[in-house]
Amino acid sequence: MTMYLTVTFAQKDKVKALGARWDANQRQWFVPPGLDLALFSPWLPPQAAQSSSPVPSYDQVAILEDTVALPRQVGISLSRLLAGVERAIANAYHEGIWTRVDVVNVTVRNKHVYLEVSERDETGVIVAQARAAIWARTAERIVPEFERTSGAQLSPGIKLLVLVKPVFKVQYGFSLEITGIDASYTVGDLEAQKRRIREQLKSEGIFELNRQLDAPWDFSRVLVVAPQRAAGLGDFTAEADRLHVRRVCEFHYVYSRFQGAGAPKDILAALHAGIEQACQKQLDAVVIIRGGGAVNDLAWLNDYELAKFICLCAVPVLTGIGHERDSTVLDEVAHKSFDTPSKVIAAVENQVAQRVRDAKLAYEAVQIQAARAVERSKVASERLATEVRTSARSTLSSAGSEVQLAMNWARVAALGQVHEARRISELLNRDLQGEARSHLQIAKNKVPAAFASVKEQSAAAVRIAKSDVRGKLPLVLELASGHARRASQHLENEHGILQERAKQTILTARVGADALIREVTGQGPKKTLARGFALVRSESGKAVTSAQAAQAEDVMVVTFNDGVVHATVKNDTQDKDGD
């Protein structure tokens, strides 16, 4: 008969630990067959609680079992006392009870599994400890199933929910006999630990930071953290060394243990040391790898401080822990996680190869664009060359007409300028002659008046001298003679100045006329011929200025800068008629 219990939600963990099971259909906890109902007396129905037998005390068991009269000495023997304890425990716990334990040590001998288990309080102090054993037949049945279901291995540090039967032997003392392991509890404990770390990182707002970094565009320098002799490290370095030797990507290695107490601190120290060594060079990524392992081996990596470091790392972190089914908190916070170290290095190689392909495509695109640009330039150059040739022909054609017109204009202009210069020279000459005659006439007019004035002054002076002192006559005569000489000299000077001015004026006009003549003659045919043009005339010397006029001539005289050539005119119309 199945005995159902009345259990509140807050007490479910207690009855579960004692071995009760949950009936999903009845939605009620019950006591499996074989368990002592006395253990569940607080949750039994009233009738069942009264009928259940209480657990006897050690003294009661010893007295009940003591059917032999006691000797006169006081007390009982140790063996009887311990035998009573053994019977009491056997009666009280003849079936197993589910118990939470922390595994301290594991030893396998002759297929028997021996464990040291304990319980610690929140501060880490041991509050209970015992020895436990899984006998070979039981171990062959429950251990592989536990490892397959949970992915963990029996090893120190793991938490277990085990079905144990307390056993007391008079000679060997107290121990626990394990007959079952609840794999879901171990997995749940590991997940609970990850959940606590995950929630704390999210509450601090840093859970997604490393995952939000931009992925490396290329890999040229990578820091690798791994156990020194890990199997996965060999797979990684086999490919990484090829890139390193060819200087495609540099790999810097630091080593640390990845499991056991203190492993997270060792990994953090290795990360700090590696980043400090590479501080002079920019890292593209940090890679954390190890070989495969059990879930509880990976559990050492579920560490808050280590996960926080990865969240705050300034470069992307790539993980290849080596476990395809389960992941760690490090995998969750890393920029990208891979199942194995081989896949990490494969991703690096693929990224490098992609960049090489991108560079190749870019180079080919540049070559194509360059070829197209060259082709366009070639077409444009040919078009421009055609336009230049056409323009040159047009320019030369129009230049011939313009040159002829310019030569005609130059001859006309030169003749006009020569006539104008001659007219100006004649006018200047007449003006100069007129001015010179005018100055001479003025000078002639002034001389008699001056002479008369001098003469009159002299006569007056003579008269005065004669009237005043006849003895001063020589002096007066001398003075008069001096005045006469000075007047004559002044007249001669004035006449010389007028003549010099007239000469200078004539000379200036002549120089100007010569300059004008040189300028006019400098624009003449010789200078034009020196620039590559020719003067075409008929045999009679008449200028030929058009093709129509040239067809009317048989022979023409072509004058170049350095000589004359006689040319025979070929009439295209006559040739066509002859054909």
Distance CA 224, CA 179 (A): 44
Q: Which residues, 6 or more positions from 115, have their beta carbon under 8 angstroms from its beta carbon? A: 103, 104, 105, 106, 107, 131, 132, 133, 134, 154, 178
**In this structure, which long-range contacts are made by residues 115-121, counting pairs with CB atoms below 8 Å and at least 24 apart in sequence?**
115/154, 115/178, 117/160, 117/176
The residue type of 400 is G
Reading the block at residue 183, the tokens are 């794999």
What pLDDT does 520 receive?
Answer: 58
By percentage, how much of the chain surpasses pLDDT 70? 82
205: region left, alpha or beta (phi > 0 left; psi from -120 to 50 alpha): left
Q: Which residues, 6 or more positions from 216, have their beta carbon under 8 angstroms from its beta carbon? A: 284, 285, 316, 351
- Cα–Cα distances (Å) from 561 to 279, 396, 525, 529, 565, in that order, read 83, 19, 9, 5, 11
User: Once rounded to an integer, what is the mean pLDDT over residues 459-474?
Assistant: 68
Mean predicted lDDT score pLDDT of the chain: 79
User: Once rounded to an integer, what is the mean pLDDT over residues 136-159?
Assistant: 84
Q: How confident is the model at residue 521 (pLDDT cuts 50, 70, 90)?
A: low
Comparing 279 with 426, the larger pLDDT belongs to 426
Classify 8 as helix, strand or coil: coil
Residues 234-253 have pLDDT tens digits of 888 888 888 888 888 888 89
Whether the per-residue pLDDT at 579 is higher than 70: the answer is no
Q: Which helix (H) or strand (E) holds 545?
A: none
Q: How confident is the model at residue 55 (pLDDT cuts 50, 70, 90)?
A: very low
Q: How confident is the model at residue 107 (pLDDT cuts 50, 70, 90)?
A: very high
139: number of Cβ within 10 Å = 18
Whether the per-residue pLDDT at 532 is higher than 70: the answer is yes
By percentage, how much of the chain surpasses pLDDT 90? 11
Q: Kindly report the CA angle at 567 between 563 and 572, in degrees rounded to 5?
A: 150
Classify 254 as helix, strand or coil: strand
What pLDDT does 574 receive?
Answer: 47
What pLDDT does 141 receive?
Answer: 92
Residue pair 193/299 in contact by the 8 Å Cβ criterion: yes
Comparing 37 with 292, the larger pLDDT belongs to 37
Q: Scanning the structure block, which residue is given the tokens 């001539």?
A: 553
Comparing 225 with 387, the larger pLDDT belongs to 225
Beta strands in 89-203 (DSSP E): 97-109, 112-120, 126-134, 159-169, 173-181
What pLDDT does 326 receive?
Answer: 59
244: region left, alpha or beta (phi > 0 left; psi from -120 to 50 alpha): alpha
What pLDDT does 205 receive?
Answer: 93
Q: How would DSSP label each residue in 22-89?
A: EETTTTEEEEPTTS-GGGGGGGS-HHHHHHSPPPPPHHHHHHHH--SPPPSSSS--HHHHHHHHHHHH
User: Once rounded to an integer, what is the mean pLDDT over residues 394-411?
Assistant: 70
Residue pair 498/490 in contact by the 8 Å Cβ criterion: no
Reading the block at residue 31, the tokens are 């006591």
Whether the per-residue pLDDT at 46 is higher than 70: the answer is no
Whether the per-residue pLDDT at 179 is higher than 50: the answer is yes
Q: Scanning the structure block, which residue is given the tokens 């243990």?
A: 257
- List, in sequence order, every residue forming a beta bridge with 224; answer none if it has no partner: 253, 287
Reading the block at residue 542, the tokens are 């008449």
Least confident of 84-98, 344-358, 395-409: 395-409
Q: Scanning the structure block, which residue is given the tokens 């494969």?
A: 346
Out of 317-321, 380-384, 506-510, the most confident range is 317-321
Whether the per-residue pLDDT at 112 is higher than 90: the answer is yes
Whether the per-residue pLDDT at 195 is higher than 80: the answer is yes
Go through the chain and tell me how many residues it has: 579
Q: How confident is the model at residue 71 (pLDDT cuts 50, 70, 90)?
A: very low
HSE, side-chain direction, 13 A CA sphere, residue 139: 18
Residues 118-128 have pLDDT tens digits of 888 777 688 89
What pLDDT does 60 receive?
Answer: 42
What pLDDT does 310 receive?
Answer: 92
535 backbone dihedrals φ, ψ, rounded to 5°: -110, 120
What pLDDT does 279 receive?
Answer: 64
Comparing 143 with 530, the larger pLDDT belongs to 143
Least confident of 219-233, 283-297, 532-546: 283-297
Name the pairing type of β-strands 112-120 and 97-109.
Answer: antiparallel
What pLDDT does 414 receive?
Answer: 66
Q: Scanning the structure block, which residue is given the tokens 């820091």?
A: 223
Distance CA 508, CA 517 (A): 14
Reading the block at residue 272, the tokens are 């700090």
What pLDDT does 213 receive?
Answer: 92
- List, in sequence order, every residue forming a beta bridge with 164; answer none if it has no partner: 97, 178
